[in-house]
Protein backbone atom coordinates (compact mmCIF):
# COMPACT_ATOMS: atom_id res chain seq x y z
CA UNK A 1 0.00 0.00 0.00
CA UNK A 2 1.17 3.47 -0.88
CA UNK A 3 2.12 5.85 1.93
CA UNK A 4 -0.04 8.49 0.23
CA UNK A 5 -3.82 8.35 -0.11
CA UNK A 6 -5.21 8.04 -3.62
CA UNK A 7 -8.64 8.91 -4.92
CA UNK A 8 -10.88 6.37 -6.65
CA UNK A 9 -12.72 9.02 -8.61
CA UNK A 10 -12.46 10.29 -12.14
CA UNK A 11 -12.51 14.03 -12.84
CA UNK A 12 -16.07 15.24 -13.19
CA UNK A 13 -17.13 17.20 -16.22
CA UNK A 14 -18.35 20.73 -15.68
CA UNK A 15 -20.26 23.17 -17.82
CA UNK A 16 -20.45 26.88 -17.19
CA UNK A 17 -23.46 29.15 -17.49
CA UNK A 18 -22.34 32.74 -17.03
CA UNK A 19 -20.16 32.52 -13.90
CA UNK A 20 -21.86 29.43 -12.49
CA UNK A 21 -20.46 25.92 -12.72
CA UNK A 22 -22.68 22.89 -13.15
CA UNK A 23 -21.07 19.60 -12.17
CA UNK A 24 -21.91 16.36 -14.03
CA UNK A 25 -21.68 13.29 -11.81
CA UNK A 26 -22.28 10.06 -13.79
CA UNK A 27 -22.79 8.05 -10.60
CA UNK A 28 -25.10 5.53 -12.25
CA UNK A 29 -23.81 5.54 -15.80
CA UNK A 30 -24.16 8.29 -18.36
CA UNK A 31 -27.98 8.12 -18.30
CA UNK A 32 -27.89 8.35 -14.51
CA UNK A 33 -25.89 11.54 -14.44
CA UNK A 34 -26.61 13.80 -11.51
CA UNK A 35 -26.36 17.51 -12.32
CA UNK A 36 -25.36 19.72 -9.44
CA UNK A 37 -24.99 23.49 -9.65
CA UNK A 38 -22.45 25.25 -7.47
CA UNK A 39 -24.43 28.45 -7.84
CA UNK A 40 -22.96 31.38 -5.95
CA UNK A 41 -20.28 29.14 -4.44
CA UNK A 42 -18.68 28.58 -7.85
CA UNK A 43 -15.64 30.79 -6.99
CA UNK A 44 -14.68 28.28 -4.27
CA UNK A 45 -14.50 25.36 -6.71
CA UNK A 46 -12.84 27.41 -9.45
CA UNK A 47 -10.26 28.45 -6.87
CA UNK A 48 -9.51 24.86 -5.83
CA UNK A 49 -8.91 23.88 -9.46
CA UNK A 50 -6.41 26.76 -9.68
CA UNK A 51 -4.70 25.86 -6.41
CA UNK A 52 -6.25 28.74 -4.48
CA UNK A 53 -8.34 28.54 -1.34
CA UNK A 54 -11.19 31.05 -1.49
CA UNK A 55 -13.15 31.92 1.65
CA UNK A 56 -15.98 34.32 2.32
CA UNK A 57 -16.33 36.92 5.03
CA UNK A 58 -18.98 39.40 6.13
CA UNK A 59 -18.09 43.07 5.68
CA UNK A 60 -21.49 44.41 6.73
CA UNK A 61 -20.99 47.01 9.49
CA UNK A 62 -24.52 46.28 10.69
CA UNK A 63 -23.77 42.57 11.23
CA UNK A 64 -24.47 41.66 14.88
CA UNK A 65 -21.48 39.27 14.96
CA UNK A 66 -18.89 40.42 12.38
CA UNK A 67 -19.62 44.16 12.69
CA UNK A 68 -17.90 44.80 9.35
CA UNK A 69 -14.81 42.76 10.25
CA UNK A 70 -16.08 39.21 9.90
CA UNK A 71 -13.89 36.14 10.06
CA UNK A 72 -13.21 33.99 7.01
CA UNK A 73 -15.66 31.13 6.53
CA UNK A 74 -14.79 27.74 5.05
CA UNK A 75 -16.67 26.14 3.48
CA UNK A 76 -17.76 29.50 2.11
CA UNK A 77 -21.25 30.94 2.45
CA UNK A 78 -22.92 33.11 -0.17
CA UNK A 79 -24.75 35.00 2.56
CA UNK A 80 -23.73 35.68 6.14
CA UNK A 81 -25.47 33.29 8.59
CA UNK A 82 -25.67 36.11 11.14
CA UNK A 83 -27.05 39.07 9.13
CA UNK A 84 -28.10 37.35 5.86
CA UNK A 85 -26.23 39.90 3.74
CA UNK A 86 -23.97 38.80 0.84
CA UNK A 87 -20.46 37.84 1.92
CA UNK A 88 -17.24 38.90 0.17
CA UNK A 89 -14.67 36.54 -1.37
CA UNK A 90 -11.09 36.59 -0.14
CA UNK A 91 -8.21 34.20 -0.75
CA UNK A 92 -6.57 32.37 2.15
CA UNK A 93 -2.94 32.79 1.13
CA UNK A 94 -0.56 29.89 1.86
CA UNK A 95 -3.15 27.94 3.85
CA UNK A 96 -1.72 26.02 6.76
CA UNK A 97 -2.70 25.17 10.28
CA UNK A 98 -3.02 22.20 12.61
CA UNK A 99 -5.11 19.08 13.05
CA UNK A 100 -7.97 19.99 15.39
CA UNK A 101 -9.25 16.42 15.53
CA UNK A 102 -9.35 13.37 13.28
CA UNK A 103 -10.93 10.03 12.48
CA UNK A 104 -9.02 7.07 11.06
CA UNK A 105 -11.24 5.58 8.36
CA UNK A 106 -10.45 1.91 7.72
CA UNK A 107 -13.59 0.99 5.84
CA UNK A 108 -15.78 3.39 3.89
CA UNK A 109 -19.28 2.88 2.59
CA UNK A 110 -20.22 2.30 -1.03
CA UNK A 111 -19.45 5.32 -3.15
CA UNK A 112 -16.62 6.64 -0.99
CA UNK A 113 -14.11 8.12 -3.41
CA UNK A 114 -11.12 8.17 -1.07
CA UNK A 115 -9.03 5.00 -0.88
CA UNK A 116 -9.04 3.54 2.65
CA UNK A 117 -7.40 3.67 5.07
CA UNK A 118 -7.10 7.40 5.45
CA UNK A 119 -7.40 10.13 8.06
CA UNK A 120 -10.45 12.34 7.88
CA UNK A 121 -9.18 15.49 9.55
CA UNK A 122 -10.67 18.67 10.93
CA UNK A 123 -8.19 21.50 10.35
CA UNK A 124 -7.81 24.85 12.08
CA UNK A 125 -6.36 27.04 9.34
CA UNK A 126 -4.59 30.20 10.40
CA UNK A 127 -6.71 33.24 9.59
CA UNK A 128 -9.93 31.25 9.17
CA UNK A 129 -12.68 31.36 11.78
CA UNK A 130 -14.22 27.98 11.07
CA UNK A 131 -12.87 24.43 11.31
CA UNK A 132 -12.49 22.76 7.91
CA UNK A 133 -13.25 19.09 7.31
CA UNK A 134 -10.90 17.42 4.83
CA UNK A 135 -8.60 14.44 4.41
CA UNK A 136 -4.91 13.87 4.93
CA UNK A 137 -2.65 12.55 2.18
CA UNK A 138 -0.20 10.99 4.64
CA UNK A 139 -0.85 7.57 6.18
CA UNK A 140 1.71 7.62 8.97
CA UNK A 141 0.56 7.94 12.60
CA UNK A 142 -0.59 11.45 13.52
CA UNK A 143 -1.53 13.38 16.64
CA UNK A 144 -3.93 16.21 17.33
CA UNK A 145 -2.02 19.46 16.91
CA UNK A 146 0.24 18.21 14.09
CA UNK A 147 0.98 20.94 11.56
CA UNK A 148 -0.50 20.57 8.07
CA UNK A 149 -0.53 22.54 4.85
CA UNK A 150 -3.11 22.55 2.07
CA UNK A 151 -2.66 20.69 -1.18
CA UNK A 152 -4.83 21.04 -4.25
CA UNK A 153 -5.80 18.81 -7.13
CA UNK A 154 -5.44 21.09 -10.13
CA UNK A 155 -5.39 20.81 -13.92
CA UNK A 156 -6.03 17.29 -15.18
CA UNK A 157 -6.10 15.99 -11.57
CA UNK A 158 -8.94 18.29 -10.54
CA UNK A 159 -12.17 16.48 -9.70
CA UNK A 160 -14.08 19.80 -9.48
CA UNK A 161 -15.47 18.67 -6.12
CA UNK A 162 -14.53 19.35 -2.51
CA UNK A 163 -12.01 16.48 -2.85
CA UNK A 164 -9.72 18.94 -4.66
CA UNK A 165 -8.70 20.31 -1.25
CA UNK A 166 -6.66 18.07 1.02
CA UNK A 167 -3.78 18.39 3.45
CA UNK A 168 -0.35 16.96 4.08
CA UNK A 169 1.85 17.00 7.14
CA UNK A 170 4.02 20.12 7.16
Using CB under 5 A, list all residues that contact Zn ion. 58, 60, 63, 66, 80, 82-83
Cβ neighbors of 116 (< 8 A, separation 6 or more) are 105, 106, 107, 108
Query: Taking the CA of residue 44 as centre, how many other CA atoms within 13 Å lie in the half-sphere pointing to its CB?
Result: 22
Question: In the complex, what is the shortest distance from the CB of residue 46 to Zn ion, in angstroms, rounded to a whole number?
Answer: 24
CB of 84 to Zn ion, least distance (A): 7
Residue closer to Zn ion by CB (options 57, 137) is 57
Residue 63 or 132: the one with the smaller Cβ distance to Zn ion is 63
**Least distance (Å) between residue 31 CB and Zn ion:** 43
Question: What's 162's DSSP letter?
Answer: G
- Residue number with CB closer to Zn ion (4 or 61): 61
- Nearer to Zn ion by Cβ, of 60 and 134: the residue is 60
C-alpha dist (Å) from residue 3 to 56, 136, 138, 168: 34, 11, 6, 12
Amino acid sequence: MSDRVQLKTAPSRITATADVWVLHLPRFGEEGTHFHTYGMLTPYFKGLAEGRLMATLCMNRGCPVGRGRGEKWLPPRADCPDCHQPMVWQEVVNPQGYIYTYTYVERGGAGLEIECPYYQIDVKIEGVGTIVKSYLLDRKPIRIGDRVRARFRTGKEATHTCLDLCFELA
